[in-house]
Amino acid sequence: MITPNYLNPGDTIGLVCPAGYLPAAAVQTCVEILAQWGYRVIQGSTIGGSSQNYFSGTDQERLSDLQRMLDDPTVKAILFGRGGYGTGRIIEQIDFTKFVQSPKWIIGYSDITILHAHIHRHQQVVTLHGPMATAFNGEGWKNEYVQSLKEVLEGISSACSGPDHSFNRFGTATATLVGGNLALLAHLVGSSSDLDTAGKILFIEDVGEQLYNIDRMLYQYKRSGKLQSLAGLIVGGFTNCQDTERPFGKSAYAIIQEAVAEYSYPVCFDFPVSHSERNIALKVGATYSLRVDATGSLLAE
């Protein structure tokens, strides 16, 4: 795996929205704080782009905006404004030739899971699953999770811990870290962006899903062989889960625990990776060590 260069003061970070629409005002705090951190910021045309429908622009407009950032050698990192839906509509048309020649940090989560997975599979470049531009708002930039993004960009290695949980399965593992949003990971099965999870530490999270759908996605992943040969599993936040009128009968965590009960690798729950404020920056494709014991979980490079 190729790790992009860490950033230096004066380096440029590009801001774009390859999926859902985001008002330009929603990134202003992010722009100001990145400048305080010492970086130059350029905004793509999809920041505050077309508001005629759900997307930040047409497929071609979103593709062109992202392509410009990928091709620009002066841009050292691309931070996405938001996720939502839409990256999967343009992923096959992206040309990664110049990106591979001059790798840069790809930063985001949610729908950006598609980019993390695709780049991991085809370009073998480490990417960054973590807070996006809107996480800086409301003094969010002061919390430890946005600050973890700053530390990673500066090349500072750190460890992250999770609490003890009754579903945790003890053990240790050292392996490549992959993962992201469960819905996206399940939808990528069978596509050119599908992840090879064998021998890797997988992390998953999701938001706003029906409990039965979480069960369905877990079994899709399991039937595809994605869960049986993991080195370890990190379960992040499953926030704002919905239930049907006739209750499904299990929580999101209980659904996951049941799906992996037959395996022996370490598993931890309630790890701070999610659609909420608790969203630590993680390097997709980097090697991490995971320890799960009676004190909780610890993930460290």
Q: Are 33 and 41 in contact (CB under 8 A)?
A: no
Q: Which residues pair with 125 in a beta bridge?
A: 2
d(CA 54, CA 114): 19
- The helix or strand, by DSSP H or E, that contains position 213, with its residue range, turns out to be helix 211-223
Q: Tokens for 91, please give them.
A: 């992923």
Q: Which of 79, 99, 103 is nearest to 27 (CA)?
A: 79
Residue type, 25: A
Query: Catalytic site residue 205?
Result: yes
Q: Tokens for 32, please give them.
A: 């100001």
Q: Which of 204, 164, 156 is nearest to 184 (CA)?
A: 204
Beta strands (DSSP E) in 200-253 are 201-207, 232-239
Instruction: Tell the residue number behind the tokens 């002061």, with chain if given.
Output: 142
Q: Which of the residues 129, 165, 275, 297 is marked catalytic? A: 275
Q: Which of the residues 205, 209, 274, 297 is marked catalytic? A: 205
Q: Which of the residues 110, 193, 274, 297 is marked catalytic? A: 110
**Residue 273 DSSP one-character state:** -
Instruction: Tell the residue number behind the tokens 């949003």, with chain if given.
Output: 181
Q: Are 126 and 285 in contact (CB under 8 A)?
A: yes
C-beta neighbour count of 249 within 10 angstroms: 10
What are the residue numbers of the active site?
110, 205, 275
